[in-house]
Amino acid sequence: MIMERKPLVVVPGLVRRDVIAYLQEHVDVRQWTEKTKMPREVLKEWLREADGLWSINSISVDADLVKDAPNLKVIAQASVGYDNVKIDDLTAAGIPYGNTPGVLNETVAELAFTLIAAASRRIIENAAFVKNGRWAERPSNIKGFDLSRRTLGIIGMGAIGVSISRRARAFGMTVVYHNRHQRNDDQLYRTTYMELDELLATSDVVCIMAPLTDETYHMCDAEFFKKMKKTALFVNVGRGAIVDTDALIDALKNGEIDYAALDVTDPEPLPADHPLLEIDNCLIVPHIGSYTDRTRYDMSMLTANNLIAGVNKKPLTTCVNEQINYKKPEMDVESALAELKKAGVDVTDFD
């Protein structure tokens, strides 16, 4: 008897064990488990045989990576952002790409708002005095500021931006935003669209939620920071390279803005001797926007399910290049009615 081989999925780094176990119920997994980054040439070699790739954001996914991978039917990654992926290259190669929108919205919004709240009240600096037994020595100039009656300006108002805006309104803030195009639901979310310069001049907190693209690369440069209020807080939960890091350091040092709170930096990780780490008025966390147990599980399972679907040429649940996503097989009317009956739907009117 000829045993049909299971499709092969390459995983070039660490993924939580429970999800790998789930993936292995459906496919063969070849995983790079070394602590060092998988060399690109080795990855390309492994991909020659592979049906699917679980990509990670430190890998450039492009035409070169997939050119000698004739069986590759799907690539998926456990993140909503895909700035490491050349989608057009994959589309040209006929490979659907799955990301993880939706499941992380509330979690990333919680982190963004946690940064805003922690920075506004200088939580880290104040807590450090208590922790170090220096409660009474705390200088009076680390007072912080109110969020109520202040304006939050969100640049890149997608689903996560909307979730942040709900939290901001609960704190009594006014929310304005800038996108390439004005949204059509401003009334619903009680948000106001502004041109970029007006947003920068108006906002007490400027929060970057945009994706990294050719257009947004280094959008926050020296000019950008000069247009902000001197008292403003700058928050980045989008991507590090949207910000010109040298310009941010200058703006913080020269008092052009008051404070920065960053979940993402350029580069990542920041080397221990990076000048950004010497800046006092800057709070940095290590890209933990979606990093809660539940959400990382949901993102990993969505990625696993996109891969399982793709290797079987079935539609990915969340596909960026939807135009080449696999289609649901067409059903004839008889089979469709049978399916509905099986699901308990009364189909007498259709018979």
Please name the residues in contact with 256: beta carbons below 8 A apart, sequence gap of 6 or more. 225, 226, 228, 230, 250
Nearer to ligand DGY, 172 or 286 (CB): 286
Q: How far is the CB of 83 from ligand DGY (least distance, A)?
A: 8
Binding residue (CB under 6 A) for ligand DGY from 174, 289, 302, 320: 289
Q: How far is the CB of 80 from ligand DGY (least distance, A)?
A: 4
Query: Burial code of 13-26, b = ≥16 C-beta within 10 A, e = fewer?
Result: bebeeebbeebeeb
Q: How far is the CB of 57 from ligand DGY (least distance, A)?
A: 7
Pseudo-torsion of CA 200, 111, 277, 286, nearest 10°? Answer: -130
Point out which span in 79-87, 200-208, 220-228, 240-248 binds ligand DGY (CB under 6 A). 79-87
Q: Contact 168/117 with Cβ under 8 angstroms?
A: no
Q: Contact 135/188 with Cβ under 8 angstroms?
A: no
Q: How far is the CB of 288 from ligand DGY (least distance, A)?
A: 7
Q: How far is the CB of 202 from ligand DGY (least distance, A)?
A: 27
Candidates 167, 178, 239, 296; catalytic one = 239
Point out which span in 44-52, 74-82, 120-128, 215-223 binds ligand DGY (CB under 6 A). 74-82
Binding residue (CB under 6 A) for ligand DGY from 7, 12, 52, 81: 81
With CB under 6 A as the rule, give the number of residues binding ligand DGY.
6
Q: How far is the CB of 315 from ligand DGY (least distance, A)?
A: 21
Could you say whether residue 203 binds ligand DGY (CB under 6 A)? no
Active-site residue flag, 322: no
Q: What is the footprint of ligand DGY within residues 87-146 (CB under 6 A)?
A: 104
Please name the residues in contact with 175: beta carbons below 8 A apart, sequence gap of 6 or more. 151, 152, 153, 154, 165, 168, 169, 189, 190, 191, 192
Q: How far is the CB of 107 from ligand DGY (least distance, A)?
A: 8
Binding residue (CB under 6 A) for ligand DGY from 55, 79, 105, 165: 79
Could you say whether residue 80 binds ligand DGY (CB under 6 A)? yes
Helix (H) or strand (E) holding 76: strand 74-77
Nearer to ligand DGY, 7 or 289 (CB): 289
Residue 235 phi/psi, 5° resolution? -125, 135
Tokens of 282: 């800057």
Candidates 268, 278, 322, 339; catalytic one = 268
Nearer to ligand DGY, 99 or 120 (CB): 99
Point out which span in 5-13, 73-81, 131-139, 270-278 binds ligand DGY (CB under 6 A). 73-81
Question: Which stretches of 125-268 are assigned E, i.e. beta strand?
Answer: 151-155, 174-178, 191-193, 205-208, 233-236, 259-262
Nearest by Cα to 199 from 240, 227, 167, 163: 227
Candidates 122, 178, 287, 296; catalytic one = 287
Could you say whether residue 290 binds ligand DGY (CB under 6 A)? yes
Burial of 138 (0-12, 13-18, 19+ CB in 10 A): middle
Active-site residue flag, 287: yes
Burial of 205 (0-12, 13-18, 19+ CB in 10 A): buried
Active-site residue flag, 239: yes
Nearer to ligand DGY, 165 or 290 (CB): 290
Please name the residues in contact with 72: beta carbons below 8 A apart, sequence gap of 6 or more. 47, 50, 51, 52, 53, 66, 93, 95
List residues with catalytic annotation: 239, 268, 287
Residues that bind ligand DGY (CB under 6 A): 79-81, 104, 289-290
